[in-house]
Structure 1
Amino acid sequence: MSQTLLRDLAARVDGEVRFDAGSRADYAHDASNYRQVPIGVVVPRNVDAAVEAVAVCREHGVPVFSRGGGTSLAGQCCNTGVVIDWSKYCRRLVSADPERQRALVEPGACLDDLNAELSKFKLMVGPKPSTHDTCTIGGMIGNNSCGASAQAYGKMADSVIRMEVLTYDGTRMWVGPTSKEEYDRILAEGGRRAEIYRAAYDLVQENLALIRTRYPDIPRRISGYNLDALLPEKGFNFARALVGSESTLVTVLQAEISLVPVPAYQSLVVLGYDDIAAAGDAVPTVARHEPLALEGIDDTLIDLARVEHVAKQGVLSELPEGSGWLMVRFGGDTREEADERADRLLSDIHRSEHGPGVSFLDDPGEEERLWKVREAGLGATAYPPGGPDTHEGWEDAAVPPDRLGDYLRDFRGLLEEFDYGSASLYGHFGQGCVHTRIAFDLDDPGGAEKYRRFVERAARLVASYGGSLSGEHGDGQSRGELLPIMFGDEVVQLFGRYKKIFDPDDRMNPGKVASPREAETAVGTPGVFRLDENLDHLGYHPAEPRTYFHYPEDHGRFTHAAARCVGIGKCRSSSGGVMCPSYRVTREEKHATRGRARLLMEMMRGTPGGGEDAVITDGWRSKDVHEALDLCLACKGCRGDCPVNVDMATYKAEFLAHHYHWRPRPLSHYSMGWLPLWARLAAAAPGAVNALTHAPGLDRVVKRAGGVDQRRELPRFASERLTDWFKRRGGPQVDGPSIVLWPDSFTNNFHPAIGRAAVRVLETAGFRVEMPPVPLCCGLTWISTGQLATAGRVLRRTVDALAPRLRAGVPVIALEPSCGAVFRSDAPELLAGDPDVERLSKQTHSLAEFLLDRAPQAITAPPPGTGRTAIAQTHCHQHAIWGFEADTEVLRRVGVQAEVLDEGCCGLAGNFGFERGHYEVSVGAAELGLWPAVRDADPGTTVLADGFSCRTQIEAGTRAKPKHLAELLAELLCPEEAGERTPAAKAPTEVS
């Protein structure tokens, strides 16, 4: 049947129809504990195409469900059916009405992208979940999303004005508030729409008392269907009655939503309490001051943020004394108005004899950085160092805010009773919503049974407080089975009847939230998935393969690394940070870090012991995994940006090593993978090599032989290598503390002027500059192409040669960020347990780091660069491994006003952008931000880029000739010695 369904979908749907193993594996997961393999995936190019896809599925009797950002934590968007992914094409802001403060939006629109479009009107969508950079409007409607801003603006249901929806049987209609006159008109028209309205109306009218009394009257009631929106006093609002139904009733095609003004100014007050429960006690007093947001965090989360470096240095020092904190945000039309609201709160709480500690932040940058600590809660708590992995499953219950403190005490007691006491407690305290991740053992049946007992107890505890099982993340599979505990059997029977009105045959996301079957409604309701079914990790015990890398953060297990992703989806962000450049260009799930991680886990699932229902069964030889990893730039952006530090560059290298074991490799692996060797040979006659590789006609032959895209210009070898120049000048010239300047292959062979500039700067600072006495290499090009056995040998030779200096404590200065990252990160993971490798990792510095730490006096003279402006492109490996803060501080000290670009990866990424088949993604990544930023820079602006790839890509797409920090410092700190770059790279370095 699947082949017939595939044929009909492909023939009739304007979109991408995928039934391949890789796509099914990718969409078998969301951000929950669950895994269900879909029948296939449809990516419609427009709304009408999605309507046609549902029609085809109806003809075949196949279930359907929608997916936006895929970040659901309760299992809402994984199921056995056809999944419609709206996020690639159906993401338009159809229209905006600034005067009436509303917008018409397609379901795939990303919240941050939409708000960026609305910013010209100084308007925004009210709810803002922590996944705001990836979640979609359709997903927010399906889940009735909230976020911290719901304190001021309410849930998504409060923002929805009307929606166009589609039922499984093909009824397409607009729904919203329904007056008596409109209701009568709908009934008079007859047809399926009238039937739906009449049935829903009768259902509510027959059960008014039940609906009015059994729904908790709290701000964060997300669980269950919104039957209360159909009450007469609420305007029989059909749109709001469908919000939060998690694709189990209708398919949302478009939505008209209300907008709110963007607060012109915000202020942040942080209040410190003895513990998190005491912070909960204070919520009613604080909430009376009507803040924009009122969040709670505990000391466990803060400790994890410190250990895992979630926060920038110094940010956490802004917290007042305490072990539990409230973060209170106020807004205003002026800075004074926002601060006055904060002052009124402080006056109020200081009347108490035992008032909290207080921090009042007035720096917007510091406020935002501290706020991000709270937003990063899920990632920070997923893999606590030294502790067991944690999971969702009971992560967002809500209670009345005025009872929050007592609930937190009781809930903490329940955690301790079940030996889950290390869980962090944080969340949207102003509305009584508590987030946590708990160390459930979901790998074996005994742990799953304990998980079930705990959540049943926790559900009864929440119900005893008049709370909601879900205060934000929805029911899905995690809580659908537990709804009778919260609502009682009678209301849950109403949910089943309501589901039957829209979806009598249970074809819309079946088994989630409610079932149309009229049956018993105790825990274990037939037709609804049990909360311990379909658990992703249950039975996932694949045999551990022998690997090249050692995966120290994953207990030395590649199988754990392959399963590390928790599905947050930050890699699907369209702006900010580095990851994931190939996703930003393609908008394809399989080309996001998350998609690749899911495929690797599915690959391991297909090995002995990996579990049942494997989709990918060809292991390291998998074409699906290879296809997804082929467009991974190995930029390491995910290593730094991913909330749980998935390191796809390392996983890709590991995969390629096994995939090509005893098999021919792509030509580029032999050309660019062995670049250090070819560069050494070219050094004998660089002019002749340059002439050969750039001669018309011959250059095409050379590129074809090397697997290089014809549209790329090959880099030119310098006329004299850095190491040859260093020997010719007689080696070290200053008798001071020794340092080793690492002559990486790129600086040494292509841009030696950078190395000469670094020598001048370091010698001016009083250091004895040395270079290795023999040709050495860090092994980067072999690592990036997955030639790990060779990389290991190359690295071993390097470490052995440097060992005497390393043991003497001599620092190593790396000018090329990617090579420095190898020493700091890859080397200890490839050659684990070697003390010299550990020394190399700890003793490797960037130029900026070293100068700040060892020679601050050399960069604190009256700044000669005052008035000079620059824009700086951070190399991705530097971003991921050691950051750019030291460079920023050095530039400040020498008087350069530098803007550090936040435009993502340059797109070249070493060999990636040169390889055949990668050109479109490579230049597409550059056009997303870097190239436009450089082109738009003011004349005379210096363009800084320490990475060889970054400089090459900038020169390929703009008129600028970027500089390395070493070159700029040489000009500013020792201008009398400043020289030109090599003939191969002569050009003005500023934007013209």
Structure 2
Amino acid sequence: MSTEFISRSLQSISGDVLSEIWQRCMYASDASAYEIVPKCVVLPKNVEDVIKVVKFASTNGIPVIARGGGSGLAGQAIGDGIIIDFTKYMHHIIEIDIKENYVMVEPGIYKGVLDKELKKYSRFLPPDPSSANYCAVGGMIATNASGAHTVKYGSTIDYVQSLDVILSNGELMHVEPVEIGSYEWKKKAGSLEGKLLETLLNLLLPNEELIRNRFPRVRKNSCGYRLDRVLGNNVLDMSKLFVASEGTLGIVVRAKFKIMDLPKEKVLTLLGFDNTLEASKSIIKIAELKPSALELIDKTVIQLARTSSEEFASKVPIDTNCLLFVEFDGNSRDEVENGINRLRSVLEQIHAKTIASSFDGSEMARIWEIRKNALSYTMKIRENAKKPIAFMEDPVVPVDKLDFLVETLQRVYNKHGLKYVVYGHAGDGNLHTRPLFDVSKSEEIKIMREVAEDLLNAVTSVNGSVSAEHGDGLARSGFIRDVYGNEIYQLFVKVKELFDPINIMNPNKKVMMQGTFLQNFRYGFKSKDFENKLNWQINDSRLQSKITGYRKELSFDDEVDLCHGCGGCRELNFGWRMCPVYKGLNDEVASCRGRNNVLRWLLKVDGLAKEFALTKEYKDIIYKYCVQCKMCLIDCPSNVNVGKSMAEARAVYAKQMGLPKGYEYFINIDKYAMQGCKLVPFSNFLMNNKLFRKLLESRTGIDARKKFPRFSKRIFDDLFREHKQPKFHKTVAFFCDTYIRYVDPMLGMHIIKILERNGYNVIFPSQMSSGLPALLEGAPDVGREIAEYNVKNLYVHASKGIPIVCFSPSSSVALKMDYLNVLDNEETRTVSSNTYDMHEFLSNLHKMKELDADFKEIDEEIGVHFHCHTIVQGADKHVKQLLNMIPKLRYHIVETGCCGVGGSYSFIKDNYDLSMQIGRELFEAVKQERKVYTTGESCKLQIEEGSGRELGLTVDLLAKAYGIS
């Protein structure tokens, strides 16, 4: 069945049908190691759309694959058929009932979004996978998701009360517990539901003892079908059958969950151990204390986490080889203190050291992020072509056999000389493990098969399961028969045939699998010949190395291949800034993962045709859907530098097709800004004249609605020349950039006076604007000329150890990191190493006890917003440190995401509406504040335009505190 026929046939639905090859390639992979291009992708708007799609698929024998966030690790959400992505439109909360304690939702809602809403009512849905902020509840149902708190609260299956599902014939059915022989049971007789109930009963009742004896003796399980939870106490509950079924029996379109009261108190303790085996032996003793969470990370994860969190690195001793996260929760402080006291009483018996304990909610949240990011830290591991591969990564055993599981992993991996990582839910007997393999080598594929068989035999020998919470998918469906034995497996087959007789519902998963888990790997693709326009594999980029933990950058191909598809860039909860464009559009193509996948397929020899890189669709992907915030580099736990990949793609595109309309004016900003200053006041009149702006828009592509800052009659150079400086023994060089030079030179003079107040002579080397638009928007040759000019003039001072101080966060990022992308030499590296954000420089002075901290009182309550590039270079902590020193100043962080300005991005006509949409939640938050200060000039302008409120700059606060006006 052709994609064209499927697409034409589905045009009557109200949702979206994606049939272009580049769109389908984005959905060919998820967070697993696998890749299969679908025939079509549907984004339904309602239940009726799903019914139409399934009926069409049923008539034509086309597979249907339901998909949530695409964060699954076993390949459940990919396949050769029609993928139905629920996250675009079907993501609503239908009802919250706090009297009856339930919530009813559509399948596409992210767990993190649901958590945020339930918290308003002091309620929560306990299952909490590490991917909660970017996994959909439909996927949680499909895999019986669990999480850190399952040790106390149980898995998804324990909270499902009823489901609305669409069966393989397109019929909608409501499933919930029904008492056998009751009036409700009899009322359903004759209907499809009644027939299914009767058939299931006749299938399960004679096999109750077999099911009881053959199912794994574990705390959680997502292997096979959960027949052990369907029948009991004279009740048949079909809703439990669909949990962990991975969409192979039907598609969930509505779910009702039991919810619980949020615990009022928590305490989290970190316990250190000499090795993982020692830690595993302590689990039984700790589990007896009834903790609410009991998690483990090994030495490798600890080391990787150190590069991402200075706080974590400072807490955990360097010789710690294994950590347990032990949490107690309850409704009173006494209750949780009792738990921690009982834990302390057994520390000597279990040979553990207390690393840290905390009752503070924000501190606990930061510590938990380390555990939640264990997988992503693992995916950062770089060892030539070897990658951490998920195939038997989710084993679970009875808790008293956890030490056996650890010993088995060590024995099996050491037998083959494999490096590996271990972390997971120790309190449940569930560990996640990933050995490193190069899947392009046949000899390593053979070892994978042997490892899988060894682990399978070991886990089943102690009544364990190979799939605790990640499901079976392509990775483990082939092992289900081995876990349960043939009799139970045949029951699974009969259930599948009962609900999906034509085998269209996510086929090749769970039962009747064709092929093996060693097929359809996506890693290690062969690349087309490609001439890079930017420098890659840069050594010793100070900022990049600090962020990633690696001295050497990857090649372009490897950077693109680094994305493992976790979907963290699709987070909507503003826990991360990444990815602001996705937050604005809620489209896969707007996510870092989506755009990265398009690039990966374009680079592949057998991927997208080269001609696609000349299309308008491709131009939008690389220009419209990236604001160059760089937050992917730090928020993506694998530190995939999608922004740089987009800059590379733009450079290649512009070389062939020319720069898109509007960008050239910002690439040559010095030229046009200087003209604007020379023509004041006429230039300011024109730039605020609606008729002129419309004419300008048609000619230049700069949106007529975008407010321009007013040009200054006198530029910063003029004021600096006239300024009489006192003489000091220390010297600093000032890099002013565009805004101070042409718009607000007095701000620059305030900075000069702040630096002088701290005993520095300030020099102002000859300089151009930073050139960041050229470097990022597709003109690297122009960017290189600017970099050469600025580096030449700055190196003279940097080589003498003279610090270079920047006000604009973007200019300091450019000097620290982006210049190396076009000018990789020792001079650039010296300039990079000696460049500081203004706040960073002053904070460092304070650290060295050299800061003049004689600040005047500022008796105000304010909100503070951080420019994305402030966060990227880690200067946000320096801003907070300085503000904390100002007497009587009270502030809080306004964190509802990126403002959407993206430097030149928001000025371009094609981007303006989206830029305002990206910042909408921030604008609304600012409207509720009395006064807000931001760290960057571009954010100030954008937020003022979007909110209608006047903003200050954090440098203004410092000047005021110093009495500078």
- What interval of TM-score do these two structures reach, taking the shorter chain for normalisation? over 0.9
CA distance in 2: counterparts of 1:657 and 1:326, whole angstroms: 47
- Is 1:694 matched up with 2:693? no
8 Å contact 1:104–1:256 — kept in the other structure?
Answer: yes
Structure 1 gaps, min length 5: 516-526, 979-992
CA distance in 2: counterparts of 1:188 and 1:971, whole angstroms: 75
| Residue in 2 that maps onto 1:986 | none
| Residue in 2 that maps onto 1:62 | 62
Residue aligned with 2:562, SS:
coil
CA distance in 1: counterparts of 2:322 and 2:311, whole angstroms: 20
Aligned mate of 1:706, from 700, 705, 719: 700
- Is 1:789 matched up with 2:781? yes
Letter in 1 for 2:597: R
CA distance in 2: counterparts of 1:616 and 1:286, whole angstroms: 57
Letter in 2 for 1:424: V
8 Å contact 2:271–2:352 — kept in the other structure?
Answer: no
CA distance in 2: counterparts of 1:632 and 1:188, whole angstroms: 53
- Is 1:747 matched up with 2:740? yes
| Residue in 2 that maps onto 1:965 | 954
- Is 1:780 matched up with 2:778? no
1:160-179 correspondence runs (5 A): 160-179=160-179
CA distance in 2: counterparts of 1:167 and 1:590, whole angstroms: 30
CA distance in 2: counterparts of 1:620 and 1:547, whole angstroms: 15
8 Å contact 2:567–2:593 — kept in the other structure?
Answer: yes
- Is 1:255 matched up with 2:242? no
1:799-818 correspondence runs (5 A): 799-818=791-810
- Is 1:359 matched up with 2:387? no
- Is 1:642 matched up with 2:641? no
| Residue in 1 that maps onto 2:760 | 767
Aligned mate of 2:563, from 562, 565, 581: 565
| Structure 1 residues 226-260: Cα deviation after superposition (integer angstroms, max 9, x where no partner) | 11123345832211121011011101011111111
| Residue in 2 that maps onto 1:444 | 441
- Is 1:347 matched up with 2:345? yes
Task: Note the aligned Cα RMSD (angstroms).
Answer: 2.1
| Residue in 1 that maps onto 2:654 | 660
1:612-631 correspondence runs (5 A): 614-618=607-611, 620-629=613-622, 630-631=624-625
- CA shift, 1:586, in A, is 1.1
8 Å contact 1:444–1:539 — kept in the other structure?
Answer: no
TM-score under structure 2 normalisation?
A: 0.95
1:676-695 correspondence runs (5 A): 676-695=670-689
Distance 1:353 1:511, change over 3 A: closer
Residue aligned with 1:127, SS:
coil
| Residue in 2 that maps onto 1:721 | 715
CA distance in 1: counterparts of 2:47 and 2:537, whole angstroms: 44
1:909-924 correspondence runs (5 A): 909-924=902-917
Letter in 2 for 1:239: S
- CA shift, 1:622, in A, is 4.8
Structure 1 stretch displaced more, 660-669 or 427-436 = 660-669
Residue aligned with 1:727, SS:
helix
8 Å contact 1:22–1:616 — kept in the other structure?
Answer: no
- Is 1:838 matched up with 2:837? no
- CA shift, 1:363, in A, is 2.8
1:168-247 correspondence runs (5 A): 168-182=168-182, 185=185, 189-233=189-233, 235-247=235-247
- CA shift, 1:399, in A, is 1.1
Distance 1:697 1:171, change over 3 A: closer
- Is 1:324 matched up with 2:303? no
- Is 1:550 matched up with 2:536? yes
1:536-615 correspondence runs (5 A): 536-537=522-523, 539-552=525-538, 556-576=554-574, 577-605=576-604, 610-611=605-606, 614-615=607-608
CA distance in 2: counterparts of 1:413 and 1:555, whole angstroms: 34
Letter in 2 for 1:329: E
8 Å contact 1:65–1:84 — kept in the other structure?
Answer: yes
Distance 1:840 1:775, change over 3 A: closer
| Structure 1 residues 936-963: Cα deviation after superposition (integer angstroms, max 9, x where no partner) | 113xx3x222222101112212343322
| Residue in 1 that maps onto 2:543 | none
| Residue in 2 that maps onto 1:524 | none
Distance 1:17 1:336, change over 3 A: same
- Is 1:489 matched up with 2:486? yes
- CA shift, 1:369, in A, is 1.3
8 Å contact 1:315–1:370 — kept in the other structure?
Answer: no
Distance 1:452 1:616, change over 3 A: farther
- CA shift, 1:674, in A, is 1.7
| Structure 1 residues 763-804: Cα deviation after superposition (integer angstroms, max 9, x where no partner) | 0100010111x2323211112311112111211121112222
8 Å contact 1:126–1:149 — kept in the other structure?
Answer: yes
CA distance in 2: counterparts of 1:547 and 1:493, whole angstroms: 57
- CA shift, 1:964, in A, is 2.4
- CA shift, 1:751, in A, is 2.0
CA distance in 1: counterparts of 2:129 and 2:910, whole angstroms: 37
| Residue in 2 that maps onto 1:8 | 9
Distance 1:96 1:913, change over 3 A: same
CA distance in 2: counterparts of 1:850 and 1:355, whole angstroms: 41
Letter in 2 for 1:669: Y
- CA shift, 1:935, in A, is 1.0
CA distance in 1: counterparts of 2:90 and 2:159, whole angstroms: 20
| Structure 1 residues 563-600: Cα deviation after superposition (integer angstroms, max 9, x where no partner) | 22111111111122211111112110110111111111
8 Å contact 1:41–1:85 — kept in the other structure?
Answer: yes
- CA shift, 1:690, in A, is 2.0
- Is 1:944 matched up with 2:930? no
CA distance in 1: counterparts of 2:128 and 2:954, whole angstroms: 39
Give the % identical residues: 27
| Structure 1 residues 792-848: Cα deviation after superposition (integer angstroms, max 9, x where no partner) | 12111211122221111111111000111111121223322x111111111111111
CA distance in 1: counterparts of 2:656 and 2:899, whole angstroms: 33
CA distance in 2: counterparts of 1:358 and 1:904, whole angstroms: 33
How many correspondences in the alignment?
947
Letter in 2 for 1:628: I
8 Å contact 1:321–1:357 — kept in the other structure?
Answer: no
Deviation >6 Å, runs of 4+: none
Residue aligned with 1:94, SS:
strand
CA distance in 1: counterparts of 2:455 and 2:506, whole angstroms: 26
8 Å contact 1:146–1:154 — kept in the other structure?
Answer: yes
Aligned mate of 1:528, from 478, 491, 514: 514
| Residue in 1 that maps onto 2:883 | 891
CA distance in 2: counterparts of 1:228 and 1:252, whole angstroms: 20
CA distance in 2: counterparts of 1:663 and 1:135, whole angstroms: 38
| Residue in 2 that maps onto 1:519 | none
| Residue in 1 that maps onto 2:864 | 872
Distance 1:485 1:534, change over 3 A: same
CA distance in 1: counterparts of 2:137 and 2:719, whole angstroms: 59
Residue aligned with 1:739, SS:
strand
Distance 1:860 1:775, change over 3 A: closer
8 Å contact 1:870–1:897 — kept in the other structure?
Answer: yes
| Residue in 1 that maps onto 2:471 | 474
CA distance in 1: counterparts of 2:700 and 2:681, whole angstroms: 19
CA distance in 2: counterparts of 1:625 and 1:390, whole angstroms: 31
- Is 1:402 matched up with 2:400? yes
| Residue in 2 that maps onto 1:501 | 498
